[in-house]
Amino acid sequence: MANTAQARKRAKQSETRRQRNSALKSEMRTAMKKVRAAIQAGDKTAAQAQFQESQGVMDAMVGKGVVHANTISRSKSRLSAAMKSLA
């Protein structure tokens, strides 16, 4: 356990950040799953709408430093390619 006041505070901050980041990552994964579900259903318009929505969520995660920019870029590219395969 932390011995100094500073170390106790850092431990508390780290736990708060871990919980927040976990919730944000979960939100991002859910948004991506919605896009994949629309693609699986073959509904191109719904897939495009969900993709637009999920892009905002994913970009916000990069801005907050939750995930690396290249990870999001790769995910968006793969989702976009999957949507193109619908046509």
The CA distance from 39 to 21, in Å, is: 27
pLDDT digits (tens, 9 = 90+) for 50-61: 999 999 999 999
- Is the pTM higher than 0.85? no
Rounded Cα distance between 84 and 86, Å, is 5
Q: Read off the pLDDT of residues 16-29 as tens digits, 9 standing for 90 and up.
A: 999 999 999 999 99
Burial of 62 (0-12, 13-18, 19+ CB in 10 A): middle
Fill in the amino acid letter for 79.
L
